């Protein structure tokens, strides 16, 4: 009888039409299928092998696909990213993981100066099909550097694409799509939603993985969000319905490129918009979203685009995180400001 009692979670061998999975499980399934379908795909990072990742997203993959293709690295994020770049130059499709968002900072040199530029520098001869998985955002009362929102930083870097799923289905579909892309994708997994369960269907339609999606249709105002804020905005929309306000929730999904058409279509209809994100306000992605809306919908907007965001402060300790992350009331306040705006 082995003393090691905890068996790795089984990885699905066959893929049923639809199954109930947590976001962790959906990402695990996507990685399993990517590794099975693409012989050049590799998973690497700290504790992704034997342990199966600190959030168990890579659980069982090393046992199934081999320790050469799913492997632990020494503890060095810059090393993980730099090595992924070299592996991509050698024809592999690396899917590195940095364990927590805050540990992407030590890798910024490789991400910004190298990963985002290699295709350009090599005049297209050295493409970088690298999907960097980053457990992201706050909400789990974790230590410092375990709750950061880096989307604006990465979106600002030329040569990087950025995406964040909001639920298990999005996690599955977007990760599979990202891994197929010939360019670097920063894949931001909302860690507070890892345990949320939902029905996951395998999908191959481009519409299912490109651009934004309407998470809840409505007619009076558009809430724009991504990652963990999508489910919170859906909650807010349900509450607003009690007050007779019909809110559309647009799950942006791709933070670079941003789906300007989807923003224009939604806000063109509702004529009011509030952007919600966990990241600090100043130079946050909300400003970019607001500007796109202004460019497309200036003539029909009933009020300036409102932002409900984190503050310009380091992400606080767990005890204060409910003060920091946009909560339901703060989002409702933002909506009210837009609703009661009077011109002149």
Per CB under 8 A, which of residues 96..125 are in contact with another protein? 99, 102-103, 105-106
Span interacting with another protein, options 75-83, 116-124, 198-206, 257-265, rule CB under 8 A: 75-83
CB 169 → another protein: shortest distance, Å?
A: 18
CB 270 → another protein: shortest distance, Å?
A: 9
Residue 63 touching another protein (CB under 8 A): no
Residue 257 touching another protein (CB under 8 A): no
Asked if residues 51 and 6 have their Cβ atoms less than 8 Å apart, the reply is no
Burial class (CB in 10 A: 0-12, 13-18, 19+), 184: buried
Q: Is 93 a catalytic residue?
A: no
In the set 20, 39, 121, 243, which binds another protein (CB under 8 A)? 243
Nearer Cβ to another protein (158/244): 244
Catalytic residue (one of 65, 146, 220, 277): 146
Strand partners, 45: 72, 97
- Could you give the residue ranges of the DSSP H alpha helices within 23-159? 23-37, 61-65, 77-89, 108, 118-121, 151-155
In the set 195, 199, 201, 217, which binds another protein (CB under 8 A)? 195
b vs e for 217-231, b when ≥16 Cβ sit within 10 Å of the residue's Cβ?
Answer: ebebbbbbbbbbbbb
Nearer Cβ to another protein (180/197): 197
Asked if residues 135 and 312 have their Cβ atoms less than 8 Å apart, the reply is no
Residues in region 301-330 near another protein by CB under 8 A: 311-314, 316-320, 323-324, 328-330
How many residues interact with another protein (rule CB under 8 A)?
Answer: 75
Residues in region 21-40 near another protein by CB under 8 A: 22
- Rounded Cα distance between 211 and 253, Å, is 7
Residue 4 touching another protein (CB under 8 A): yes
The DSSP-derived string for 141-197 is: ---TTSS---HHHHHTSTT-EEE---SHHHHHHHHHHHHH-SS-EEEEEEGGGTT-E
Residue 299 touching another protein (CB under 8 A): no
| Active site (catalytic) residues | 146
């Amino acid at each position: 009888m082995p003393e090691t009692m905890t068996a790795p979670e089984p990885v699905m061998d066959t893929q049923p039409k639809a199954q109930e999975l947590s976001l962790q499980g959906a990402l695990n399934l996507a990685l399993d299928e990517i590794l099975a379908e693409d012989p050049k795909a590799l998973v690497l990072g700290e504790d992704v092998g034997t342990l199966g990742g600190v959030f168990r997203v890579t659980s069982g993959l090393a046992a199934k696909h081999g320790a050469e293709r799913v492997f632990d690295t020494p503890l060095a994020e810059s090393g993980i990213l730099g090595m992924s770049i070299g592996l991509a130059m050698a024809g592999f499709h690396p899917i590195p993981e940095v364990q927590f968002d805050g540990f992407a900072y030590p890798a910024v040199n490789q991400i910004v100066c190298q990963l985002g530029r290699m295709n350009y520098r090599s005049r297209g001869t050295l493409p970088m099909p690298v999907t960097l998985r980053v457990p992201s955002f706050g909400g789990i009362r974790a230590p410092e550097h375990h709750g950061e929102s880096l989307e604006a930083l990465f979106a600002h870097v030329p040569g990087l694409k950025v995406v964040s799923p909001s639920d298990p289905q999005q996690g599955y579909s977007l990760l599979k799509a990202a891994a197929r892309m010939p360019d670097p994708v920063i894949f931001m997994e909302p860690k507070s939603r890892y345990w949320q369960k939902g029905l996951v269907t395998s999908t191959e339609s481009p519409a299912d993985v490109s651009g934004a999606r309407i998470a809840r249709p409505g007619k009076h105002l558009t809430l724009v969000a991504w990652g963990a804020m999508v489910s919170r905005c859906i909650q807010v929309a349900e509450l607003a319905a009690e007050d007779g306000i019909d809110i559309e929730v647009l799950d942006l999904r791709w933070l670079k490129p941003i789906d300007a058409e989807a923003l224009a279509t939604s806000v063109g209809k509702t004529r009011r918009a509030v952007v919600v994100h966990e990241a600090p306000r100043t130079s946050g992605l909300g400003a970019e979203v607001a500007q796109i809306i202004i460019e497309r919908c200036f003539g029909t907007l009933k009020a300036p685009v409102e932002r409900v965001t984190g503050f310009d402060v380091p992400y606080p300790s767990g005890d204060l995180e409910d003060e920091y992350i946009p909560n339901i009331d703060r989002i409702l306040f933002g909506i009210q400001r837009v609703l009661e705006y009077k011109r002149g």
